[in-house]
Structure 1
Amino acid sequence: MAKWSTDKKIKPDNFGRNSATNKTAKEKMLRGSAWMTVGSIFSRILGAIYIIPWYGWFGADKLQANALYTKGYTVYSMFLMIAISGIPSAVAKQVSHYNAQNEYAVGRRLFKKSLLLMVIIGITCMSVMWIGAPWISQGDANLVPVYRSLSIALIIIPVMSLTRGFFQGYQDMFPSAMSQLLEQIVRIIYMLVATFFIMRILKEGYVTGVVHSTFAAFIGSLGGLLILILYYFRKKDYMDQLVLQSSNQLKVSDGRIIKEVLYESVPFIIIGVSTTVYNLIDQFTFQSVMQHFSELSVRRINDWFALFAGNANKLIMITISLASAMAITVIPLLSEAYTKKDKGQISIQINDALELFLIVMLPCSLGMAAVAKPLYVIFYTYDYTGIFVLSFASYIALPIGLFMVLSSLLQGVYQNKIAIKYFAIGLVVKVIIQVPLVAFLQGFGPLLATGIGMMVSNLLMLRFFYSHFEMDYHRIVRRFDGLLFFSILMFMVALGVVHLSSFFLNQYSRIQSLFVLILAATAGGYVYIYLCLKTRIADKILGPRVETLRRFLRIK
């Protein structure tokens, strides 16, 4: 557990420079968020683009294949979070905590001891998922090989995630971003090659294609781990210098190190699985509720499930990944400020993190809702219901993303119990309203239940920050009002372009839909950027560097 530190010694940073020349916390957050955003965005975009050929190769069974794939990944995500055990985020937090006290040697030892722990946990979880596959498949024999192909990745991914957390503890987000990107590239290459060979050349069933698609998670993890290992040895000399210059005033036993990591990891586990738990509730309740309240066949119910849990979810995760990137960046920074007992800096970082979330997530969510039609056609072909589901899901991405940021802020200032408590309250709300909303709204019901549950948690967390950390509520509201107004104008412009284009272009064509998407995104994006730069709200949130963009666009 972190304690207030009175250490005022000037120390070198992770590149051996004096801390007096270090960047400000806001600049670190913006730089770290930029790297994590680049990695997350490109990773998510690649993870969405592959669906275009992959989806088509399954032919008439494409929705069934996507439903099977989605169900497999939902359960796998739960096992993955257990295997990772929140330890990578806890390590990032504790490494930052010790580095702030110039105890780099303790942070290095913490990483090495946690590494062995992650190997043991990963092998254990892999074994449980492999052996338990028949029992968690809900009687669906097709799911058993899917679960088992995914379980193998649990051997590698915990080690990879821990290494990312170690670098994040130094506020170095570049290796995590590059690892995430390479992992996705390798995974998709294997996935597409294997699926094409199985479905188009061997002409085998869709289950075999899905099994190899999910096995790609293991192949991708090997690529992601490789770049982290190379980066570690590249930076090892720098980090060795920091260890040699450590104060070595803290005497921390190996047992205490492991105990600290495990203690700090528990809230990260619970919060980390939050969206997965919400998805699991959908997976295990949707079919039974729909069978009870509707006359739809099991195949049609699975089609509905694929529309909101598979197709729409895959695309909105592109925008939600932005919030994840911000959340990962802010935890070690807040932990460092907390360790130094700098309450003023904590308050500033909370405000900065929320403003950064608003300036990015508001236009992204509303923008995706505006271009839902061409976007859906590009990835999945035209489907009237699927387009509306995607548009609705785009709005739900906002409370989900805000929850990720706020819960991470709470954990960064060691308010773990509060984060868990508010998550639990929101989850209870989701459970209570799930059945009636599914019964009345079908595929839209689970999405709305998730949005309401997350929003309840968000309001409670915002109230806590306002009461305990002197959050500048009025400033946040002013920023929100302005950015929301700009985002709505952007939404109207983009939506107008989409609707007008339907009179001249074929809305069923992927190529023409791509043209519409580019046109609408460009027009809407320019309106938003112009207004943010013209009113100088971008300067207040992102700093003076946006002046370069203003000059480039010739905005006075």
Structure 2
Amino acid sequence: MSDQQLLRGTMILTASIFISKMLGLIYIFPFTSIVGHQGLALYTYGYTPYTVLLSLATLGVPLAVSKFVSKYNALGDYHTGQRLLKSGLIIMSITGFIAFLALFFSAEMIANRVLDPDSLEGNSVGDAVFTIRMVSVALLVVPVMAIIRGFFQGNQSMGPTAVSQVIEQIIRIAFILVVTYVIMYTLDGELGTAVGFATFGAFAGALGGLAVLLWYWRRRYAGMQKMLEESTVDHKIPLTKMYRELFRYAIPLSFVGLAIPLYQTIDLWTFNPAMRDAGFVQPIAETYYASFTQSTHKLILIPVSIATAMSLTILPTITSAYTNGDTDRLQRTITQTYQIILFLTIPAAAGLMVLSEPAYAALFGLGEVSIGGEMLRTYAPVAVFFAVFAVTASLLQGINQQKFAVIALVAGLLFKVLFNSLFIQWFGPQGGVFATLGGYMLSVTVNVWAIGKYAQFDYSIIFRRLRQIVMYTVIMAAVVLYIAFGLERFFPMDNRWNAGIILGLSIGTGIIIYLNLTVRSGLAGRVLGHRFAVLKK
């Protein structure tokens, strides 16, 4: 495959990931309008353990398969890749089935932990059990689909993965919104029934994605058979040796990728019980939980996903620079990565802080704006640490020091486990945010130290840039806060339209101010000039 075709495939895959993430963000607004925060909390009770068990069932194998197949194809050995796929399908089917059984039969235990069985308000234990068991069925399909995607990517064919991801997400979201609306408003059904069937959308979407992959397989079957015939060598690697190589670098990657789900799992087990101990009744505790783990969480991931996507495009350079001993290029690339992340996420997080109530009201309605705005204001700064942790973990992978990313994550998770309930009892619902912030700060500290030590990276430039970014962000935030306060005199925030007007005008003002300050000072040119040449002028 030519470099141009490979670049095109990578761009298609990146675009599909971005589209899927945006769809995953947008649907939460109408879904919350249909089921409310109580339904959103119930939905999270099922999806959080599902996400963790899905990651454990696959253990990063799809990515590892992609690298493994690509490696042996380059050696002219197409037999090894196909042997890996055939055995992998069996293994993924088994692990998926085990994960399904584990989640299905632990549903009652999880439900009794997160909810008070004696409470007559809020979600019932029975509804939570039903929701968890409905989403567990998807574990029978998704691991199989994941390894097929890895095989196609290993053959430098990104289209099947890209198309199947988008189709899977579209079917899942359409199923969720249509089914919940019909059950709630057409059939006048119960909330627990609607949310339970909504989580079943994961299975419906997975079937759609798998159908797309099988269609591509049928179209490409003749070509793959021809590749086998043209294979110049067959290493005949034993399966035990093959999987030993796969898991050696797959497990650290999958563990780091589990960071946010693992943090949310700790909240699943401890947030509601700690809130009850702090004197909150179950419906209020569930509203705070839904706001923390779903609605505000989705909002703070917007700047994280954009910043990470922009920085990850230069991360492949890290590996080649480190491997070839090109110290200057390594230092420049790490510097650029840090600068992009901080340049984008710090002002975005500050904007979410000062516009927390208009943002929450415009996107999720006025019903729980006091709770949602309060949580968003506290949670927004964590976005910076989410982004920095993800990127520094990738940087450590590029310099073959991914073990420190794992150590950092374990340290952060231990902090979260030890202090989550305690902080909630001390500070109320914001204590869960503080525990997450503390855990991520600890993890980022470890990663930053490891990069400085093993890449011999000098942080003096980053500290100078950080001071500038913070200074301009404070100026921008102060003006935006004043503008929003003034707009509220003309557009009282008693409906979503007015909240949307305040939010839109304030965001526009903030962008103009921040760009004006950073462009005129030359900061934008130094950070983004390699992407937007006009900023250097």
Same fold (TM over 0.5): yes
Separation of aligned partners in 2, 1:257 and 1:155: 24
Q: Distance in 1 between matches of 2:227 and 2:522?
A: 40
State the shift of 1:400 in Å.
1.9
User: 1:171 offset after TM fit, Å?
Assistant: 8.3
Q: Deviations over 1:376-424 (max 9, x none)?
A: 1122222223212112211112112221222233234332332221211
Q: Determine the structure 2 residue equivalent to 1:283.
A: 268
2: CA distance between counterparts of 1:36 and 1:127? 32
- Which residue does the alignment assign to 1:365? 349
1:319 aligns with 2:303: yes
Comparing 36-45 and 65-74, the one that deviates more: 36-45
C-alpha distance in 2 between matches for 1:98 and 1:479: 43
Which of 52, 55, 59 aligns to 1:78? It is 52
Q: Displacement, 1:450?
A: 0.5
Q: For 1:543 and 1:190, how far apart are their aligned partners in 2?
A: 43
2:30 aligned residue: 53
Determine if the alignment matches structure 1 residue 512 to structure 2 residue 498: yes
For 1:350-499, what aligned pairs fall within 5 Å after superposition?
350-382=334-366, 383-499=369-485
Quick check: 2:44–2:294 contact (8 Å CA) kept in 1? Answer: yes
Q: Is the 8 A contact 1:368 1:394 kept in 2?
A: yes
- C-alpha separation in 1, matches of 2:508 and 2:162: 26
* Residues 91-130 of structure 1: per-residue CA shift (max 9 Å, x gap): 3455566688887876676556544432332232123222
Is 1:122 aligned to 2:96, yes or no?
Answer: yes
Paired with 2:217 and 2:138, the residues of 1 have a C-alpha distance of 22
Q: 1:223 to 1:372 in 2, by over 3 A?
A: farther
* Matches of 1:491 and 1:212, distance apart in 2: 42
- Rounded to whole Å, the distance in 2 between the matches of 1:173 and 1:369 is 38
Partner of residue 135, structure 1: 109
Q: In 2, distance between residues paired with 1:136 and 1:213? A: 19
- Counterparts of 1:214-225 in structure 2 under 5 Å? 214-225=199-210
Comparing 240-249 and 130-139, the one that deviates more: 240-249
In structure 2, do the counterparts of structure 1 residues 461 and 451 end up closer, same or farther at CA, with 3 Å as the change threshold? Answer: same
Instruction: Describe the shift of the 1:458–1:43 C-alpha distance in structure 2 as closer, same or farther (beyond 3 A).
Output: same
Q: CA RMSD in A?
A: 3.7
Pair 1:102–1:318, CA change in 2 (3 A) = farther
Q: 1:4 matched to which residue of 2?
A: none
Aligned match of 2:121: none
Q: Once the 2 structures are TM-superposed, how far is the Cα of residue 144 of structure 1 from its aligned partner?
A: 1.6
Evaluate the alpha carbon distance shift between residue 271 and residue 153 of structure 1 in structure 2; reply closer, same or farther with a 3 A threshold. same
Matches of 2:430 and 2:382 in 1, distance apart? 11
CA separation of 1:386 and 1:228: change in aligned 2, threshold 3 A: same
SS of 2:489 mapped into structure 1: coil
User: What TM-score do the two structures reach when normalised by structure 1?
Assistant: 0.81
**What CA distance in whole angstroms lies between the structure 2 residues aligned with 1:244 and 1:497?**
69
Q: Any gaps of 5 or more consecutive residues in structure 1?
A: 1-11, 18-22
Gaps spanning 5+ residues in structure 2: where?
Answer: 118-124
- For residue 203 of structure 1, give the secondary structure of its aligned residue in structure 2: coil
Aligned length: 524
Q: Is the 8 A contact 2:107 2:132 kept in 1?
A: yes
- Structure 1 residue 348, shift from structure 2 partner: 4.5
Sort the Cα spacing of 1:251 and 1:331 in 2 relative to 1 into closer, same or farther, 3 A: farther
Q: How far 1:210 moved relative to its partner? A: 0.2
d(CA) in 2 for partners of 1:447 and 1:172?
A: 41
Any conservation in 1 of the 2:31–2:177 contact (CA below 8 Å)? yes
1:189-236 superposed Cα distances (whole Å, 9 cap, x missing partner): 111111111000110110011011111112223344455566778889
Is the deviation greater in 38-47 or in 307-316? 38-47
1:197 pairs with one of 157, 182, 194: 182
Match of 2:142 among 131, 148, 157: 157
User: Given that residues 133 and 148 in structure 1 are in contact (C-alpha distance below 8 angstroms), is that contact kept between their aligned partners in structure 2?
Assistant: yes
Equivalent of 1:310 in 286, 289, 294: 294
Matches within 5 A, 1:233-244: none
CA displacement 1:250-275 (0-9 Å, x = unmatched): 77544322221122222123222222
Distance in 2 between the 1:233 and 1:169 partners?
A: 17
Task: Tell me the equivalent position of 1:8.
Answer: none
1:466 Cα deviation from its structure 2 partner? 0.6
2:122 aligns to what? none
Alpha-carbon distance between aligned partners in 2 of 1:167 and 1:337, rounded to the nearest angstrom:
28
Alignment pair present for 1:267 and 2:252:
yes
> Greater relative contact order (Cα 8 A, min sep 6): structure 1 or 2?
1
In the alignment, which of 495, 500, 503 is matched to residue 489 of structure 2?
503
Cα distance between partner residues in 2 of 1:280 and 1:407:
21
Worse overlay, 517-526 or 462-471:
517-526
1:320-375 Cα distance to aligned partner (Å, 9 max, x none) = 33466468767766556666666665555433433332233223322322332222
Q: In the alignment, which residue of structure 1 is the partner of 2:39?
A: 65
Structure 1's 97 and 335: CA in aligned 2 closer, same or farther, altered over 3 A? farther
Going from structure 1 to structure 2, the CA distance change for 1:231 and 1:324 (only over 3 Å counts) comes to farther
1:381 and 1:508 in contact (8 A); partners too: no
